[in-house]
Amino acid sequence: MTVIDANRMQEIEARYPEYFHRSFRQRFGGLMILIATLLYGLYAVWFFDLPKLLAEAHWERVGIYLSQWVSYDVQPDFRIQDDGSIEVRYPRFSPLGDNPHPDWVVNNPDGSITVSVSGTSRSITVSKSETIVTAHGVSVPVNVSSGAPEVVGPVPSWMTVYDDNVLADLGFAGDVSISVDRVKVRKRFLGWANFLFDTQSSFFDKPVGDVLGLIVSGPRIKPDQSNLSLAFDDIWNNSEWQHGDVWTKLFQTIVMAFLGTLLGALAAFPLAFLAARNITPNRLLNQILKRFFDFLRSVDMLIWALFLTRAFGPGPLAGSGAIFLTETGTLGKLYSEGLENIDNKPREGIKSTGAQTVLVHRYGIMPQIVPVIVSQTLYQWESNVRGATIIGAVGAGGIGLKLWEAMRTNANWENVAYMVILILIVVFLFDAASNALRHRLMGTNSH
């Protein structure tokens, strides 16, 4: 074992003072950051009142909305007539078409009707005097012959009794509302109803094989139009899913993002040379342009969209203008900072040969700044595809407005899911294309 004497110890301390004589910040800096983070977390909990917020949140709605994203429902309405007969009605725009006869609604010999909500485990039997709800392993009769519906026996937890009706929650399968003269059933199905062909299409409710047979070699449904063309028209003009309008609005969003980013880059490029101190040695002009960039960036794209929709009316022009103004400020700042950080030696070398200013910029500056310009512009372009969706919700056109309209009804969540998936696919493709193009232009390996 080596023994270090006092003189050797003092020599080591003098040689490495950063290890033996650390400042207060070096010794306790990590602990102070940890304590500050914990205090800030406690402040955030108090400021936002998180315990109350979490306790009062409607968590059940999360499951409801998610189920509506991937399913649809059919709502038969059973009206009990004065003579004891039962009339079955469906909503005007039922997914089953104008004259539905589903096999899960069965007319019994005694005049009652049985609705299979989820096989035999969940069903409703409607008669003139009572409605029997079978779910969760029990059958619960509800008497409807008196002035108000009355549950016979104990009321299970999945049933709620009101003054004039009884509501039975059958889980994901659906629910049923029972009153004295009316029983309304909601039966839920997985999937998206009539995604290709709506109820008015000639191909509605036909098996896939029959549809393909008609398109390939079947007789013409309309003499003046081929079946392939008719099928495309029916899909494009689907009244329930509105594929044509959705895809047109999606294309508008892409065009808005591209046009706004392109115009912003074209405007920011020359202004950045004037704003860079080492390129344009005019302090007043530098500061004016940099504050101008700050102003354009400080006003959010959504606010610009609100201003422009008031000025030019709703539409993609306002959206492109909002992206253009925001990107002029953002790219102008990024370009000018990139110019200020270049190496001046190549520029000074070319300048010393007596070359013109344009040539000095072309060969002394551009090779250094092009990677920054390409990288930042492509990143902003892919980011603006997402931004164009948001500003569309305030009337700036594109799929954002379509998405907001579907969400506002609170009834078309499957359409919302459809548009969200399309947006995610487009963003993913643009992200991949942007990365590939950036690596190709900059000469780097994308792996």
Tokens for 247? 């895809």
Residue 93 lies in a domain: yes
Q: Which residues of the chain have pLDDT under 70?
A: 1-7, 9-10, 12-23, 441-447
Residue 58 lies in a domain: no
Residue 195 lies in a domain: no
Angle between helix axes 316-340 and 243-275 (nearest 10 degrees) is: 30
Of 155, 171, 190, at which residue does a domain stop?
190
Residue 354 lies in a domain: yes
Structural domain for 181, as ranges: 73-190
Q: Which residues contact 50 (CB under 8 A, 6 or more apart)?
A: 44
Whether 288 contacts 306, CB under 8 Å: no
Tokens for 380? 């902003």
The tally of CA atoms less than 13 A away on the side-chain side of residue 148 is 8
pLDDT of residue 393: 79
DSSP run (H or E) holding 12: helix 6-15
pLDDT of residue 3: 61
Report the CATH number at residue 384.
Answer: 1.10.3720.10
Are 263 and 369 in a shared domain?
A: yes
Are 154 and 273 in a shared domain?
A: no
Are 282 and 359 in a shared domain?
A: yes
Residue 335 lies in a domain: yes
Residue 286 lies in a domain: yes
Are 284 and 388 in a shared domain?
A: yes
Are 259 and 336 in a shared domain?
A: yes
d(CA 22, CA 28): 10
Are 180 and 248 in a shared domain?
A: no
Amino acid identity at 35? I
DSSP lists the bridge partners of residue 194 as none
323: closest CA among 249, 258, 401?
Answer: 258
Look at the alpha carbons of 387, 390, 392, 395 in this order and tell me if their dihedral is positive or negative. negative
Residue 300 lies in a domain: yes
Supply the pTM of this predicted model. 0.79
pLDDT of residue 22: 66
Are 121 and 251 in a shared domain?
A: no
DSSP run (H or E) holding 141: strand 138-143
Are 426 and 286 in a shared domain?
A: yes
Residue 310 lies in a domain: yes
d(CA 273, CA 361): 10
Are 249 and 178 in a shared domain?
A: no
Give me the residue label for tokens 């006869």. Answer: 101
Are 334 and 401 in a shared domain?
A: yes
Maximum alpha-carbon separation in the chain: 114
- DSSP output for 205-266: T--HHHHHHHHHTSPPSBTTB-HHHHHHHHHHT-TTT-HHHHHHHHHHHHHHHHHHHHHHHH
Are 134 and 269 in a shared domain?
A: no
CA 388 to each of CA 58, 242, 262, 288, 429: distance values in angstroms, whole numbers, following the listed order: 30, 20, 14, 29, 16
State the CB neighbour count (10 A cutoff) for residue 280: 16
Question: What total number of domains does the chain contain?
Answer: 2
Angle between helix axes 208-216 and 227-236 (nearest 10 degrees) is: 130
Are 160 and 264 in a shared domain?
A: no
DSSP β-ladder status, 166-169 and 159-161? antiparallel
d(CA 327, CA 335): 11
Of 173, 190, 207, at which residue does a domain stop?
190
